[in-house]
């Protein structure tokens, strides 16, 4: 919280404030942080290195960055040492943390999660797939999410798992399929109909002018033999009748 005018009741540990040194003492410094009660920085909280004299670090009138340590009724205890993102007592098993890959080794990766020590992700806890080296999927500086598997405060060791914080491939596919099934309602049916309309419909090829003319010519050709045959038959009958008439006339004349 970068808000020095916030009421002290709203302040909480690790909130970031800006204060002005109004007085120094042997034990530390008193700051104005815009609250009803003063802010106090103990000499041990001026910097990480040991301090012999408060005046060697801060002077009256100086503006400094501070973080809340504890809120009391008569004062707000501050520190000029930027606190860790995660204290040892804040790290719990199964919690999800975000961090940056600080170092790669053959056996795993060290991830800075804002704690005093980086957490170790063993090579077997990096990916759901088998990998021969952490460098196959990670590089220094990568930001990752991991699940806390174990925290040993005495040894100051943190075991993490990127794999445990990542869905399995089959789970991802199941979610995708689930989403597709949900879409098969009216909207899904409409989309299917639209796709069907967009699909080309197989139609019989249109005939060209030449093909049409050729087809009609064939039809006429198929009809002609029948007409011709009728005409030939009629002509033959007329010819036979004519011959028969001539024959009769000749016979009558001869008599």
Q: How far is CA 54 from CA 25, 83, 153, in A?
A: 7, 20, 32
Residues paired with 23 in a beta bridge: 30
Residue 183, pLDDT score: 61
As assigned by CATH, the class of the 8-79 domain is mainly beta
Q: How much is the average pLDDT of 10-31?
A: 95
Residue 170, pLDDT score: 72
Q: How much is the average pLDDT of 161-177?
A: 80
pLDDT band at 227 (very low <50, low <70, confident <90, very high): very low
Beta strand ranges found along the chain (DSSP E):
16-24, 28-32, 39-42, 63-71, 76-79, 96-105, 108-112, 119-122, 143-152, 157-161
- In the predicted model, is pLDDT for residue 70 greater than 80? yes
pLDDT band at 110 (very low <50, low <70, confident <90, very high): very high
Q: Which pTM was predicted?
A: 0.55
Strands 108-112 and 96-105: antiparallel
The per-residue pLDDT for range 54-67, each reduced to its tens digit, is 999 999 999 999 99
Domain ranges of the chain: 8-79, 88-165
pLDDT band at 29 (very low <50, low <70, confident <90, very high): very high
pLDDT greater at residue 111 or residue 167: 111
pLDDT band at 240 (very low <50, low <70, confident <90, very high): low
| Residue (of 58, 64, 70) closest to 19 by Cα position | 64
| Residue (of 61, 62, 60, 64) closest to 79 by Cα position | 64
| Percent of the chain that is helix, strand, coil (3-state, to 5) | 35, 25, 40
What's the half-sphere exposure (Cβ side, CA atoms, 13 Å) at 90? 13
φ and ψ at residue 235, rounded to 5 degrees: -65, -40
Q: Which of 144-153, 160-169, 202-211 has the lowest mean pLDDT?
A: 202-211
- In the predicted model, is pLDDT for residue 134 greater than 90? yes
pLDDT band at 194 (very low <50, low <70, confident <90, very high): low
- In the predicted model, is pLDDT for residue 141 greater than 50? yes
- In the predicted model, is pLDDT for residue 127 greater than 60? yes
Residue 197, pLDDT score: 57
Residue 236, pLDDT score: 60
CB atoms within 10 A of CB 67: 18
- In the predicted model, is pLDDT for residue 226 greater than 50? no
Residue 48, pLDDT score: 92
Residue 10, pLDDT score: 84
- In the predicted model, is pLDDT for residue 230 greater than 50? no
Q: Cα–Cα distance between 128 and 165 in angstroms, integer?
A: 11
The share of the chain scoring above pLDDT 90, in percent, equals 59
Residue 167, pLDDT score: 86
Architecture of domain 88-165: Beta Barrel (2.40)
Q: Mean pLDDT over all residues of the chain?
A: 81
Same-fold call for 8-79 versus 88-165: yes
Residue 177, pLDDT score: 72
């Amino acid at each position: 919280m970068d808000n020095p005018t916030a009421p002290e009741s709203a302040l909480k540990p690790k909130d970031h404030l800006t204060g002005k040194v109004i007085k120094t003492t042997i034990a530390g410094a008193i700051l104005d942080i815009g609250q009803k009660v003063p802010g106090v920085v103990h000499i041990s909280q001026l910097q990480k290195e040991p301090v012999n004299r408060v005046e060697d670090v801060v002077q009256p009138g100086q503006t400094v960055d501070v973080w809340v340590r504890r809120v009391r009724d008569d004062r707000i205890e501050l520190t000029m040492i930027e606190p860790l993102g995660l204290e040892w007592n804040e790290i719990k098993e199964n919690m999800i943390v975000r961090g940056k890959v600080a170092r790669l080794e053959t056996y795993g990766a060290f991830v800075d999660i804002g704690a005093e020590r980086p957490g170790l992700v063993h090579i077997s806890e990096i990916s759901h797939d088998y990998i021969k080296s952490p460098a196959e999927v990670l590089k220094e500086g990568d930001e990752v999410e991991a699940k806390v598997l174990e925290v040993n405060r005495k040894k100051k060791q943190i075991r993490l798992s990127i794999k445990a914080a990542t869905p399995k491939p089959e789970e991802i596919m199941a979610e995708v399929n689930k989403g597709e099934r949900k879409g098969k309602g009216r909207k899904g049916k409409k989309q299917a109909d639209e796709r069907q309309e967009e699909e080309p419909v197989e139609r019989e090829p249109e005939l060209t002018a030449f093909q049409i003319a050729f087809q009609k010519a064939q039809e006429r050709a198929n009809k002609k033999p029948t007409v011709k045959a009728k005409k030939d038959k009629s002509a033959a009958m007329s010819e036979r009748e004519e011959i028969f008439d001539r024959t009769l006339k000749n016979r009558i004349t001869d008599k």
